[in-house]
Chains A and B, each alone.
Chain A
């Protein structure tokens, strides 16, 4: 039996807004193995960030609420916990890093002090032991002169160093699950590579399972083993990264992969010229006003009557490759034809 760090079952997070009911996460299920990196990919409004916030039980209520499903962290259902119990787990056994490090760093507290606090609170360490561990963590995430940096305030660090400090804080208590929500989207490409390297190192050395939320398929391809593609609040495709990129079953996944420039010249050593990008027509529908049936149908070349009537169930289309599409076979055939 596989030992899962996290098992999410039929998660439903709804927002009750003036514009009506918004099903931001509408029945999402997945399992995360220990030490694995799972990427959740999709465009703005697909529900990937709300999924992450739901796992942390950080959805603002009102207007949002987890209305159904379960989130089991090594067996404990987080959905059922009251806030004090959740507070003991958050930051200790499940932690999160954000795109903008200043959202989680306190500007008037030194880096060392704020990381130590988490350790004193969650792991009942003494102040001295917590500081020693803090300095060790800062070193682990690649901050030079960690003793010195621990005494500094967030504004004294560069963007990349702040991101590292936030990661050190998130993993200080050695969480089972680390959620990274667009952790490098605000960073330059050379700094992005450094931060992704830090996250990979933590996984190797601490065995942390990572959920990586991103819109960047390049990052997915280079860092994750497993990928979930979301569209309009639902999971439309899931599988191991190689299979999903090589043989995507859902027309949306296929469209995404072919709509981005893929560095053809660089990868082929100049032999292959970039081809015209394939467009996905139209745009992501507003979640408050989704069409009946498959939400992707209005943009899909394969859509037929059944797509506009019934939402397709998620089914195993190839071994280990799941998709929610009535015409998945045809989508793959178009790809190969």
Chain B
């Protein structure tokens, strides 16, 4: 990929597990265990997986909200993995994050105009009047009325609060937005409003998205390329058409078979994958998925399959492909 906006290589995040009154470290959760991907300008990479797969940790590590254990994060070619707070600041404005819960991610005591304007205050010189004009423009851009600037978060519905979160993220004209389950907490009829808004903003502002979601239908809709995660590792990575029509990894196959399709005319024969997602505290050895995989062979239990290019542009981590 020529000049990716974001390039992540070998990213690892291990959380210590502490026990007893001495809080001794008894082990590590390998929340993210060697993840690599890149996002081009104006592109959406969908990051899908079930709870505990590490997708949220990837998003937060990329944002440097939590420190990576190993690996590198390059933003517009610049390695930001080890930058200190001051050096990081000019790069921070290039990347922003939108959270799942529009109820807890906005300070209830601040006026929404100030919430949206806060990044401007921190990063951009200019007087109050200039800032108000910019905030009004942002409100307009995300489908809110500028007259609502002086209201408080509780006066808004869930969908409107998510728009406020989007406006705050846009304030500094970022190149990349990490969107962590941005529509999962919203009512069905409101989800479409926010998805359309994100897609329109991408078209108009050449934004790149790292779109983190467990909802495969939403990911198919909004992404250009998709990475599937399972217990800290990417198991499949390709463009969305290939992923949704010719999946290679048995886990991806299981996910696609399990997603309920909203069309009663095409009721499918279900291949239901058995068992639970293992605990990330004690992931199975070898291929993490072998305990639930209907094709698993002896070596799947011992050897970790590498993520490799099985077909041009189509990466999968499976011994059998």
Interface: A1 (CB within 8 A): no
Contact of B241 among A43, A44, A265 (CB under 8 A): A265
Contacts of A264 in B (CB 8 A): 220
Interface: A79 (CB within 8 A): no
Interface: B266 (CB within 8 A): yes
The closest CB in chain B to the CB of A278 belongs to B192
Are the CB atoms of A43 and B221 closer together than 8 Å? no
Bound CA–CA A196/B259 (angstroms): 11
The closest CB in chain B to the CB of A246 belongs to B265
The closest CB in chain A to the CB of B278 belongs to A158
Interface: B188 (CB within 8 A): yes
Are the CB atoms of A267 and B192 closer together than 8 Å? no
| Known contacts A245-B262, A245-B264, A265-B245: A279-B273 contact under CB 8 Å | no
The closest CB in chain A to the CB of B49 belongs to A188
Interface centre among B189, B244, B256, B270 (most CB of A within 10 A): B189
Are the CB atoms of A262 and B261 closer together than 8 Å? yes
Bound CA–CA A197/B264 (angstroms): 16
The closest CB in chain A to the CB of B189 belongs to A280
Interface: B281 (CB within 8 A): no
Interface hits, A286-328 → B, CB 8 Å: none
User: Least Cβ distance of B222 to chain A in Å?
Assistant: 8
Interface: A220 (CB within 8 A): yes
Interface class of chain B by DSSP = helix
Contacts of B220 in A (CB 8 A): 261, 263-266, 274
B102-110, B117-125, B168-176, B210-218 - interface stretch: B210-218
The 8 A CB mask of A217-230 against B (1 = contact, 0 = none) is 11111110000000
User: Least Cβ distance of A240 to chain B in Å?
Assistant: 9
Contacts of B41 in A (CB 8 A): none
Interface: A76 (CB within 8 A): no
Bound CA–CA A161/B279 (angstroms): 14
Are the CB atoms of A192 and B258 closer together than 8 Å? yes
Number of interface residues of A (CB under 8 A): 51
Interface hits, B289-315 → A, CB 8 Å: 292
Bound CA–CA A223/B267 (angstroms): 9
Are the CB atoms of A266 and B50 closer together than 8 Å? no
Are the CB atoms of A160 and B272 closer together than 8 Å? no
Are the CB atoms of B187 and A217 closer together than 8 Å? no
Interface: A335 (CB within 8 A): no
Bound CA–CA A289/B163 (angstroms): 24
Contact of B191 among A44, A255, A259, A274 (CB under 8 A): A259
Contacts of A245 in B (CB 8 A): 262-265
Contacts of B292 in A (CB 8 A): 190
The closest CB in chain B to the CB of A158 belongs to B276
Bound CA–CA A217/B188 (angstroms): 9
Contacts of B216 in A (CB 8 A): 189, 263
Contacts of A188 in B (CB 8 A): 50-51, 214, 277
Bound CA–CA A190/B244 (angstroms): 16
Are the CB atoms of B276 and A221 closer together than 8 Å? no
| Known contacts A189-B255, A265-B241, A277-B195: A283-B159 contact under CB 8 Å | yes
| Known contacts A188-B277, A259-B192, A261-B217: A44-B256 contact under CB 8 Å | no
The 8 A CB mask of A189-207 against B (1 = contact, 0 = none) is 1111110110000000000
**Residues on B close to A: CB < 8 A?**
50-51, 157, 159-160, 187-193, 195-196, 199, 214, 216-218, 220-222, 240-241, 244-245, 254-267, 270, 272-274, 276-277, 292
Q: What are 22 residue pairs bridging A and B, where the CB atoms are less than 8 Å apart in the complex?
A: A43-B187, A160-B276, A188-B50, A189-B259, A190-B50, A190-B292, A191-B276, A216-B260, A218-B261, A220-B262, A221-B267, A241-B264, A242-B264, A257-B262, A259-B189, A262-B217, A262-B261, A262-B263, A263-B217, A266-B245, A270-B244, A274-B220
Q: Which 3 A-B pairs have the closest CB atoms?
A: A218-B260, A261-B221, A188-B50
6 more A-B residue pairs beyond the given contacts A44-B187, A266-B245, A267-B263, with a C-beta to C-beta distance below 8 A: A160-B276, A188-B214, A193-B260, A196-B260, A221-B267, A270-B245
**Residues on A close to B: CB < 8 A?**
43-44, 158-161, 188-194, 196-197, 215-223, 241-242, 245-246, 255-257, 259-267, 269-270, 274, 276-281, 283-284
